[in-house]
Amino acid sequence: MAKHPLLKEVQDNILLEKYSKEFGTPLYIYYGYQIKENLQKINSALQSYFDQYQIYYAVKSNSNPNLLSFMHNYLPSMGADCSSPGELFAANKAGIPMESCVYTGNYESKKDLQSAYDSGCEINLDDSTSFQRLKKIGVPNYISFRLNPGIGKGRFSQIITGGKEAKFGIPKEKIIPIYESAKKDGVKLFGLQCHSGSAILDEDYFVKNTQLILNTARRIENKIEQNLSKISIGSGFGIPYSDDEDALDLNNVFCKISQVFEDFYGRDKSDWPILCIEPGRSIIGNTCILLAKVTGIKESYKNFIGLDAGMETFMRPALYSAEHRIYKLGTKHKIVDLPVDITGRICENTDRLAVNISFPRVVEGDLIAIMDAGAYGYAMSNQYNTRPRSAEILVNGDEYHLIRSRETIEDIFQNCSI
Ligand code: LLP
């Protein structure tokens, strides 16, 4: 059980008030020290148990190039996992070399595959038909395929990406012939990837998932008579979203994963394939406060606190019923027992940031902090109801700067000539 690492920023609210005056609200505020701490924890846990590993930051969780380059400057060995030409563009803009990137798409168009191929990044394919499309463009020296191990796990059913209902990956029963035919077509080196769910806090899941991947890897290796050079266990590394959840102990997780590697490949680590991971949430999730302002308070059949941030600004609660810690600035306020819903200004009844929570009394103009907004926050924001998207700032020590300016209404219509 732990308090949020950014709680001090909310309690000592002078700076947050200053940012709101300078940049307006809603505002995504990222803290550099927390990004560094997250990267350091992941990297040192991997370093303790693996000789050869590669971290590919999952750009889909947050693609701001300023954040990517901040991460890459701190940990130059960090690559990027990209799922679209736009994410490749962001990684490239941030100065991450394309050789340290992997493209994992799904149902990729020829154009998508062409961008990935031309960029020089590694390609991880979601299906045999993807390989048929890629072949017409070119046959890379190295390729990996995404496995659907038949099961998956996730904090919400919507973010489970393995198992019978998942649209991702190649069923374990069908994957071997795909490697055989890719080898015939001239691919020289192979990897195997699997990402079967997200936001998981259960250590044992990662052990089981690795076992399933290595079982399939062994069957592939026997059949193609060649060792796989890389194994990507995807991601899914969760973060606490409430005070009563504990953070994952990454040292334990990678220690246990290394034991699975030892069982399969023996004690000599130089015989192990390179372990790859694609973390997004665990790097950027808890580094960000979404700052919003109370715009209206209503006592209806329910009590509502309306903010200038809604489902268009931050979609996770409306989409998954995700719960985030939400604080009134300065905290130490008496909690009102009456349950409230926190909503935005969108004309849609699913527009909620919280449902039936106890909250301190607020007045119009009060500032509100929504925690853990760094992953899949700005990245999934949109312009519904023709609301321009937020600004983003990065705080690094005593310095802070705008890393994306607020969109304007004119920006929204810049492609509509009339
Ligand atoms: N690798 C692949 C192939 C993925 O599909 C994903 C996430 C990741 C890595 C990064 O996973 P993470 O480290 O963030 O668990 N919008 C949802 C999450 C969807 C995740 C999709 N794939 C949310 O807000 O929770």
pLDDT in tens for each of the 418 residues of the chain?
A: 578 999 999 998 899 999 999 999 999 999 999 999 999 999 999 999 999 999 999 999 999 999 999 999 999 999 999 999 999 999 999 999 999 999 999 999 999 999 999 999 999 999 999 999 999 999 999 999 999 999 899 999 999 999 999 999 999 999 999 999 999 999 999 999 999 999 999 999 999 999 999 999 999 999 999 999 999 999 999 999 999 999 999 999 999 999 999 999 999 999 999 999 999 999 999 999 999 999 999 999 999 999 999 999 999 999 999 999 999 998 666 677 679 999 999 999 999 999 999 999 999 999 999 999 999 999 999 999 999 999 999 999 999 999 999 999 999 999 999 9
Ligand 1: centre distance to CA 374 (Å): 13
The pair of three-digit structure tokens given for residue 29, joined into one six-digit string: 């505020």
DSSP 8-state secondary structure symbol assigned to residue 200: B
For residue 100, give the nearest of 117, 83, 118, 80 by alpha carbon.
80
Q: Whose CA is nearest to atom 5 of ligand 1?
A: 195
Residue 309: what residue type? A
Q: Measured from the CA of 283, which atom of ligand 1 is nearest?
A: 13
Position in ligand 1 atom list of the atom nearest CA 316? 24
Cβ contacts of residue 301 below 8 Å, gap of 6+? Answer: none
Please tell me the distance between residue 61's alpha carbon and the centre of ligand 1 in angstroms: 7
User: CA-CA distance, 380 to 301, in Å (whole number)?
Assistant: 31
**Spacing, Cα 203 to ligand 1 middle (Å):** 17
Q: Which atom of ligand 1 is nearest to the CA of 281?
A: 14
Please choose, from the candidates 103, 173, 171, the residue with its C-alpha nearest in 3D space to the C-alpha of residue 143.
103
The token pair that represents 53 in the structure block: 């590993």
Check 82, 101, 255, 347 and give the catalytic one: 347
pLDDT number for residue 409: 98
Atom of ligand 1 nearest to the CA of 197: 15
Tell me, yes or no, if 347 is annotated catalytic. Answer: yes
What secondary structure letter does DSSP report for 340?
E
Atom 4 of ligand 1 has which residue's CA nearest to it?
Answer: 195
Instruction: Quickly list DSSP for 289-308.
Output: EEEEEEEEEEESSSEEEEES
Q: Which atom of ligand 1 is nearest to the CA of 319?
A: 24
- Whole-number Å distance between alpha carbons of 197 and 194: 9
**Can the peptide bond before residue 85 be classed as cis, meaning omega within 30 degrees of 0?**
no
329 phi and psi, to 5 degrees?
Answer: -60, 140
In a 13 Å sphere around the CA of 198, the CA atoms on its Cβ side amount to 19
Among protein residues, the one with the nearest Cα to ligand 1's atom 3 is: 195
CA–centroid distance, residue 330 to ligand 1 (Å): 32
Give per-residue burial for 36-67: e unless 16+ CB within 10 Å, then b: bebbebbbebbeebbeebbbbbbbbbbbbbbb
Distance CA 50, CA 25 (A): 44
Name 125's bridge partners.
145
Ligand 1 pocket test: pick from 61, 101, 282 the residue with the most ligand atoms within 8 Å of its Cβ.
61
Nearest-CA residue for ligand 1 atom 7 is 198
In the reported structure, the alpha carbon of residue 236 is separated from the centroid of ligand 1 by a whole-number distance in angstroms of: 7
**Site residues for ligand 1, CB cut-off 6 Å:** 58, 60-61, 81, 104, 159, 161, 195, 198-199, 234-237, 278-282, 316, 375-376
Residue identifier of the C-alpha nearest atom 24 of ligand 1: 376
User: What is the Å distance from ligand 1's center to 416 Cα?
Assistant: 32
DSSP 342-370: EE-S-SSTT-EEEEEEEEE---TT-EEEE
Which atom of ligand 1 is closest in space to residue 279's alpha carbon? 13
The CA 237 to ligand 1 mean position distance, Å, reads: 9
State the Cα–Cα distance between residues 389 and 57, nearest whole angstrom. Answer: 24
Residues 6+ apart with CB under 8 A from 109: none
CA distance 415 to 418: 10
The number of angstroms, rounded, from the C-alpha of 204 to the middle of its chain's C-alpha atoms is: 21
Domains of the chain plus CATH, in order, are: 7-29+286-412 (2.40.37.10), 32-281 (3.20.20.10)
Quickly tell me which residue has 């990406």 as its tokens.
161
Q: Where are the beta strands (DSSP E) in 184-233?
A: 189-193, 230-232
Question: In the 8-state DSSP scheme, what is residue 405?
Answer: P
